[in-house]
Amino acid sequence: MELLSHIGFGLSVAAQPENLAFALLGCLIGTLIGVLPGLGPLATLSMLLPITFHLEPVTALIMLAGIYYGAQYGGSTTAILVNLPGESSAVVTCLDGHQMARQGRAGAALAIAGLGSFFAGTVATLVIAAMILPLTRLALTFGAAEYFSLMVLGLIAAVVMARGAIFKALAMTIIGLLLGLVGTDVPTGIQRFTFGSPELYEGLDFVTIAVGVFGLGSIIASLEAGEDAQTVSVLNQKITRLWPSRDDFRRAWPAVLRGTGLGCVLGVLPGGGAILSSFTAYAIERKLARDPSRFGKGAVEGVAAPESANNAGAQTSFIPMLTLGIPPNPVMAVMVGALMIHGVRPGPQVLEQRPDLFWGMIASMWIGNLMLIVINLPLIGIWVKLLKVPYRLLFPAILLFSSIGVYSVNNSTFDVVLAAGFGVLGYVFAKIGCEPAPLALGFVLGPMLEETLRRAMLLSRGDPLVFFERPLSCAMLITAAVILAVVLSPQIKRGRNEAFQEQP
């Protein structure tokens, strides 16, 4: 059993004391930011990115991964108790989870969410371990054309998944791609968009943009909206019974299975990940239910399925990042950034060169899920208290941490000034209804997209048909065109708007 020996090797890496400690730290931070509304994994990961510079690459990756899937656990706590999505993938959990809490079944809802997530996390870990080898082999057959088409597909998928008008998301992607071009153009040696400042020769740093646009931008927007008013306290109710009833279990377990399966599949797709998985899982449960009217009134399936799906999706979205080096969503784009800091270029070659990185992180996911179930269920009281910390104390701390983070990447005050500028830009984007997530993905993929385009065109002697002559590449471009066409068609457009309106 090849697979078992790999997992065994991974466990031996993940169980090293330092890796265990940072897995725990990552899970704690993940739960924390999952619980706190308004602070998502994307901003947090980018703030902590510079700190991981001082760790071993595998340790850094283990910690960052823990933050992402840890946030999926924490997000459900806030959704259930306060009816606010602590994390955007927990939006649908609010619908039934909070109703359960109102009916005095908060404990059951939390337990189902936690246990469902744990089951999904375990399955997703095995799926990753099983899929990595075949996918890596497939990736080695990829040429420039396939990579280009895959990135186009990923960018289009991110556009489709973004909230708001499609044309805005497309524009944000292009702005991201343009920002990615800043710096020295390697083949020609020409400085592009640097305006003569040597600090920009190496290009913009992902951390600077992410902290500015996501971190600072959302702080300004929240302050303007008067965030403190939002921290309502439905929290005074005591959580008495944590264990779900037998009836809850009977209804929940098929939903957990379906959610897990769905999340594992959707996580791998370009544009996929936690958010897509949880939305789809909820919609499917409502379709399958004998009595759909129970949904929105505390149906346990409405908690079990999306919570399992978002955790499974969060984990399997590592697959395309690890095997192809192409991030399927913005959070994975940060992961690519983290690997690059350590001089590891994600892609199929990593499996050969750094097997410890691969298997160590995968094994740590299962250990992390085990930690999270302990962090989230018996210790739930601590997190509930945290929800009571007012925003006026929270945001200055976030400001300070992110500024130190940006500064320490290159010891550069110039980067901090840039981040302040991007903060204003992020605020402007929020003001005019542009969601910035596609920008982050565009920024990371920009240089790679240009490079593969150039290479493919050079090899084909300038014939753009090369992208359609290779079957895999052609299939990916057609898929991208089809999803874009489907979303732009008037009927679907209406449905999509309704789907997104369920978000408060």
- Contacts with another protein by CB under 8 A lie at 51, 54, 165, 167-168, 170-171, 174-175, 177-178, 181, 185, 187-188, 190, 192-193, 216, 219-220, 223-224, 226, 228, 390-393, 395-397, 399-401, 403-404, 407-408, 411, 413, 416-417, 419-421, 423-424, 427-428, 431-434, 450, 453-454, 457-458, 461-462, 464
Q: Please state the closest distance from residue 205 (CB atom) to another protein, in A.
A: 14
Q: Please state the closest distance from residue 499 (CB atom) to another protein, in A.
A: 19
Under 8 Å between Cβ of 183 and 191: yes
Please state, in angstroms and rounded to a whole number, the distance separating the CA atoms of residues 404 and 412.
10
* Residue among 45 and 274 whose Cβ is closer to another protein: 45
Q: Please state the closest distance from residue 393 (CB atom) to another protein, in A.
A: 6
How many residues does the structure list for the chain? Answer: 504
DSSP codes, 403-418: HHHHHHHHT-HHHHHH
* Residue among 74 and 423 whose Cβ is closer to another protein: 423
* Residue among 130 and 225 whose Cβ is closer to another protein: 225
Q: Please state the closest distance from residue 492 (CB atom) to another protein, in A.
A: 18
Under 8 Å between Cβ of 30 and 77: no
Angle between helices 41-52 and 391-410 (to 10 degrees): 40
Query: From the CB of residue 385, how many other CB atoms can be counted at a distance below 10 Å?
Result: 10
Q: Please state the closest distance from residue 9 (CB atom) to another protein, in A.
A: 29
Residue 395 has phi, psi (to 5 degrees) of -70, -35
Q: For residue 192, give every residue at least 6 positions away whose Cβ sits within 8 Å of its Cβ, in sequence order, or none.
A: 181, 182, 183, 184, 185
Please state, in angstroms and rounded to a whole number, the distance separating the CA atoms of residues 402 and 136.
35
Q: Please state the closest distance from residue 289 (CB atom) to another protein, in A.
A: 35
* Residue among 170 and 380 whose Cβ is closer to another protein: 170
* Residue among 185 and 352 whose Cβ is closer to another protein: 185
* Residue among 265 and 399 whose Cβ is closer to another protein: 399
Token pair of 409 as six digits: 């990447």
Q: Please state the closest distance from residue 376 (CB atom) to another protein, in A.
A: 24
* Residue among 96 and 415 whose Cβ is closer to another protein: 415
* Residue among 385 and 392 whose Cβ is closer to another protein: 392
DSSP codes, 270-311: TT-SHHHHHHHHHHHHHHH-S-GGGTTS--THHHHHHHHHHH
Q: Please state the closest distance from residue 60 (CB atom) to another protein, in A.
A: 12
DSSP codes, 101-168: HHTT-HHHHHHHHHHHHHHHHHHHHHHHHHHHHHHHHHHHT--HHHHHHHHHHHHHHHHHHSSS-HHH
